[in-house]
Structure 1
Amino acid sequence: MKLPQPLIHGRLVSRYKRFFADLVLDDGREITAHCPNPGAMLGVKAPGQGAWVSWSDDPKRKLAYTLQMVEQGDALVGINTLLPNRLVAEALAEDLIPELSGYATIRPEVKFAEASRVDFLLTHPDRPPCWLEVKNCHFSRTPGLAEFPDCKAERSTRHLGDLAAQVAHGDRAVVLFVVQREDCDAFQACADLDPAFARGLDAAAKAGVEVLVYDCAMGMETVRVARRIAWRGSVAGN
């Protein structure tokens, strides 16, 4: 998908109140940008880290700038949690995820379980429906290893149980982790930060929920779902 243009480079000063980030742009301007990521953002919020923001001339916006990517070492890391669902929708439409190809209809945001919505419901008259949940991942503490979550993720843990229930009903269910970086070859659930989620992911997989992990090709103009990487289970502490 195409990113808003142009992207402007600067350095982080601070990220605060979940949705705000102060930066100093390369031309010396000091700005406050919208931060479209309510999570902990471990590893991608340190003062001095290089960052890229987009700019909008929409007069209805309170903040003209939006934080899009942060540099972590040599990696370009997407922090916008609104992108993964859009990236997956585009990849499904273009048949870029082989494990999820061949469905006749793709419906976003479908209510299921008692109090949940699944990100996508894939259907075909000749096969069971597929309930697809998408999770954003940016976190990496060890070179080559992506991890999720970077903080407590109770809602995500509940979603795993909901997916397992759909499998028990005879449907197909998939959790897809979208890693918004291209320097990782493997993925693990982060049990030291959220042991409940790690246990839940392992339990869901044993119940028949499929676990897919795809990284992204990160660029200044476009970001796209790129290649499948390996899932190794939990980091520790199951």
Structure 2
Amino acid sequence: MEFSTPLLRGKLIKRYKRFLADVELENGDLVTAHCPNTGAMTGCAEPGYPVYLSESSNPKRKLKYTWELAQTFDGDFIGINTHNANKLVAEALNNKAIDAFSHIDSWKAEVTPLGADSRFDFAGNDAGHTHYIEVKSLTLARGNQGYFPDAVTTRGAKHCETLAKLALQGINTSLLFCVQHSGVKTVHIADDIDPNYAQAVANAAQAGVNIMAVSCLIDEQKILINQSLPIIL
């Protein structure tokens, strides 16, 4: 996924009210950007971090800037925009860049299985068999270990429960962590943050849900899904 316009580099002043971030651009201008991330963003929003903003030409937008990337003081890039995770996975599925799904030619987005009470990000059809994928964007890093979630997620636990029910019916299901942090080498479930979610993931894995993670190549021009990462349950 290439950014449609060149990103503007700046320095983060602060993130506040969840969806707002004050940034000092390289030319000295102080701007307020939309922060498209509802999570705690632990380790992603440190004052002084280099950040990268996209700029919209839409005159109807209240805020013309969107916070896309952060860069840690160690130089690791972080994809702040959680909406990009589904775009990245869609691109990778269409390009057959994820080996586990490369045999599936047809995908639909935002699909609710018959009789289910959860909608999943993708459904693929392989010779009459459906495969459901739920995508989660991971940005929390502790050293080179990535963790999800960074805040309590009741909705995420519900997704796991529904995936497990489908798996027990013999339906192919996957929980895919899209790791938008270039410093992460392994993926873990943050049971200290949300033990209920950790249990839901463990139950899903036991039911036969495929739990997997992929890393991303991130720079100022693009984000691309790169390779599978080990996930430690």
Per the normalisation by structure 1, the TM-score is 0.94
Q: Distance in 2 between matches of 1:147 and 1:160?
A: 16
1:212 corresponding residue in structure 2 = 212
Q: How far apart, in 1, do the equivalents of 2:108 and 2:96 lie?
A: 15
Shift of 1:69: 0.6
> Which SS does the other structure have where 1:155 is aligned?
helix
Q: SS of the counterpart of 1:116?
A: coil
Q: Which amino acid is the alignment partner of residue 129 of structure 1?
A: T
Give the drift of 1:184. Answer: 1.6
| 1:232 to 2:232 alignment | yes
Q: Please say if residues 4 and 55 of structure 1, whose CA atoms lie closer than 8 Å, have aligned partners that are also in contact.
A: no
Residue identity in the other structure for 2:179:
V
**Residue 126 of structure 2 corresponds to residue 110 of structure 1:** no
Q: Distance in 2 between matches of 1:45 and 1:87?
A: 22
Tell me the C-alpha RMSD between the 2 structures. 1.1
Kindly, what percent of the aligned residue pairs are identical?
A: 35
Task: Provide the C-alpha distance between the structure 2 equivalents of 1:215 and 1:82, rounded to a whole number of angstroms.
Answer: 16
Residues 162-181 of structure 1: per-residue CA shift (max 9 Å, x gap): 00111111110000000012
- Alignment match, 2:124: 122
Q: Which amino acid aligns with 1:83?
A: N
Letter in 2 for 1:7: L
Contact 1:10 1:52 in 2 (8 A): yes
Aligned residue number for residue 168 of structure 1: 168
Aligned letter for 1:135?
A: K
Q: Which residue of 2 aligns with 1:236?
A: none
Q: Does 1:82 align with 2:83?
A: yes
The CA distance in 2 between the partners of 1:101 and 1:166, in whole Å, is 21
Which residue pairs with 2:132 in the alignment?
Answer: 131
CA–CA distance in 2 between the matches of 1:4 and 1:123? 30
Regions of 4+ moved over 2 Å: 112-115
Does the 8 A contact of 2:11 with 2:48 survive in 1?
yes
> Quick one: distance in 2 between partners of 1:13 and 1:115?
41
Amino acid at match of 1:24: E
Query: Where does residue 201 of structure 1 map in the other structure?
Result: 201
Structure 1, unaligned runs of 5 or more: 234-238
Over residues 79-137 of structure 1, what are the superposed CA-to-partner deviations in whole Å (9 max), with x where a residue is unaligned?
A: 101101000000000000010121232010001354311100111225x3111000000
Paired residue for 2:25? 25
Distance (Å, rounded) in 2 between the aligned partners of 1:116 and 1:149: 19
* Matched length: 231
